[in-house]
């Protein structure tokens, strides 16, 4: 039996059913699970002092392309809309291989961990030069984050009227076979699972209708989740109307891409009928506000979706379109962006924090994560609010989003300390950064 006691927090934000915030409270972890939350707990195990800290559930990231940390701030892609941005980056991505995929994943996951994330999904939809999904799975294992990798895919290349170059697309039969391989090899459906695999054709404009349908059938057969990009911007809607004769929501519904086991990234352009469809079908949304701003895609109707009962979570999106992977900053951006559109009372700091934690766990189908309650997995972020950023704050919980700090002091995943005093404990981060920069220079050369 292994115990860790997080003691004497300024506030413990539970995200339980009553959204209780407990002043001066402790959290007791036993064998990777939360054993108690309350004031004056005792343990004979390790003690981590949390004086001056806000303790929250670990944040959940529901959309990323980790490999893109190798193509941050690429000059030709800095100021382009989605389709032009993709066309600039595809030839660079085509030069990557297994080492690039693994190292870039370590970088992206380290950045997430330091900014409060304990559970991340990833959407890997290109496999150049022998790269495989497990290159990212091994990286997540090294760093110790809970991981939901999705087996993405592109099958319609330029010669067939698609957007990506032919060298980056795969045969549809090969895609489905590799989905089966990675699910059978790496998917763990059990409670407390550290790895769940999903099926994720890249987008309706890079795979066929047939593959969308087959992917949905396969995912249901295997009991895994489905993920893709949907209704990202006006170009995306125009493409759907021109190619499929319907809006993206209709396309998704027709092909089996709605349900509690599906989540779509972006959904910036969902109309009211589509929001209603998502509510009825319990389909989830990965809201990626920084990427939407960066690519000028628009403001997702998060207020309307939340009011209608749609499950909304956060995603930092790939690092070629953010270009940060800072999840607490993403929560702040989500809050600010709704206010731009709907006024200052459109989203509170606490609601944004709820979307970033509980909301993410709900979208990814993880009732065992997302809140600090007895029996839940011990995925915990500890934020030091005694420092510069929150100095003078009257409400330390709201200050997390309104002021800072931008990084955690400590982070626990499944009860294991992945960040201690602001440093990753599991990998030699300075060395990985060096390798990453060397690989980026090679790609640029």
Number of residues that bind Zn ion (CB under 5 A): 1
Q: With respect to Zn ion, which residue has the nearer C-beta, 85 or 278?
A: 85
Q: How far is 113 from 111, CA to CA, in rounded Å?
A: 6
For the chain, the helix, strand and coil percentages under 3-state DSSP, each to the nearest 5 = 40, 20, 40
Q: What are the distances in angstroms from CA 226 to CA 217, 221, 416?
A: 10, 12, 29
Q: With respect to Zn ion, which residue has the nearer C-beta, 14 or 321?
A: 321
Q: Which residue has its beta carbon closest to Zn ion?
A: 317
Q: With respect to Zn ion, which residue has the nearer C-beta, 316 or 411?
A: 316
Contact yes or no for 159/336 (Cβ under 8 A): no
- Report in angstroms how near the CB of residue 196 gets to Zn ion at its nearest: 19
Residue 398, Ramachandran bin (φ over 0: left; ψ between -120 and 50: alpha; else beta): alpha
- Report in angstroms how near the CB of residue 294 gets to Zn ion at its nearest: 11
Q: With respect to Zn ion, which residue has the nearer C-beta, 66 or 381?
A: 66
- Ranges within 278-337 binding Zn ion (CB under 5 A): 317
Q: With respect to Zn ion, which residue has the nearer C-beta, 214 or 317?
A: 317
- Report in angstroms how near the CB of residue 283 gets to Zn ion at its nearest: 17
Q: How far is 85 from 128, CA to CA, in rounded Å?
A: 19
Q: Residue 108 corresponds to which tokens in the numbers above?
A: 């992206």
- Report in angstroms how near the CB of residue 65 gets to Zn ion at its nearest: 6
Q: How far is 189 from 224, CA to CA, in rounded Å?
A: 8
Q: Output the DSSP codes for 404-434.
A: --SS-SEEEETTEEEEETTEESSS-HHHHHH
- Report in angstroms how near the CB of residue 327 gets to Zn ion at its nearest: 15
Q: With respect to Zn ion, which residue has the nearer C-beta, 111 or 317?
A: 317
| Residue 292 CB coordination number (10 Å) | 24
- Report in angstroms how near the CB of residue 55 gets to Zn ion at its nearest: 31
Q: Which residues bind Zn ion (CB under 5 A)?
A: 317
């Amino acid at each position: 039996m292994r115990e860790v006691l997080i003691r004497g927090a300024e506030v413990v934000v539970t995200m339980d059913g009553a959204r209780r915030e407990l002043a001066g409270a402790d959290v007791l972890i036993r064998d990777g699970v939360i054993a108690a939350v309350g004031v004056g707990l005792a343990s004979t195990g390790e003690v981590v002092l949390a004086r001056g800290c806000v303790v929250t559930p670990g944040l959940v990231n529901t959309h990323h392309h980790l490999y893109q940390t190798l193509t941050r701030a690429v000059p030709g892609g800095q100021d382009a809309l989605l389709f032009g941005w993709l066309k600039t980056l595809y030839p660079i991505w085509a030069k990557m291989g297994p080492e690039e995929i693994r190292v870039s994943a370590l970088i992206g996951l380290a950045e997430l961990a330091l900014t409060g994330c304990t559970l991340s999904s990833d959407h890997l939809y290109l496999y150049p030069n022998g790269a495989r999904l497990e290159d990212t799975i091994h990286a997540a294992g090294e760093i110790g984050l809970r991981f939901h990798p999705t087996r993405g895919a592109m099958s319609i290349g330029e010669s067939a009227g698609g957007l990506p170059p032919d060298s980056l697309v795969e045969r549809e039969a090969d895609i489905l076979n590799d989905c089966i391989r990675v699910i059978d090899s790496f998917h763990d459906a059990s409670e407390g699972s550290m790895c769940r695999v999903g099926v994720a054709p890249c987008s309706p404009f890079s795979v066929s209708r047939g593959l969308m349908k087959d992917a949905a059938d396969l995912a249901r057969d295997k009991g895994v989740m489905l993920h893709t990009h949907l209704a990202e911007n006006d170009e995306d809607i125009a493409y759907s109307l021109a190619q499929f004769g319907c809006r993206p929501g209709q396309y998704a519904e027709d092909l089996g891409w709605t349900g509690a086991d599906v989540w779509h990234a972006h959904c910036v352009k969902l109309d009211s009928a589509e929001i209603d469809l998502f509510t009825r079908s319990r389909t989830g949304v990965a809201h990626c506000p920084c990427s939407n701003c960066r690519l000028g895609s628009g403001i997702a109707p998060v207020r309307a979706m939340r009011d209608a009962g749609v499950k909304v979570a956060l995603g930092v999106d790939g690092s070629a379109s953010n270009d940060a992977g800072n999840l607490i900053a993403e929560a702040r951006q989500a809050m600010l962006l709704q206010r731009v559109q709907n006024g200052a009372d459109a989203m509170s700091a606490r609601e944004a924090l709820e979307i970033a934690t509980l909301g993410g766990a709900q979208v990814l189908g993880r009732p065992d994560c997302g809140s600090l309650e007895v029996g839940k997995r011990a995925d915990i972020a500890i934020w030091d609010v005694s420092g510069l950023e929150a100095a003078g704050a009257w409400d330390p919980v709201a200050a997390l989003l309104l002021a800072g700090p931008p990084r955690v002091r400590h982070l626990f995943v499944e009860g294991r300390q992945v960040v201690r005093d602001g440093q990753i404990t599991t990998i030699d981060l300075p060395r990985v950064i060096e390798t990453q920069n060397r690989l980026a220079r090679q790609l640029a050369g």
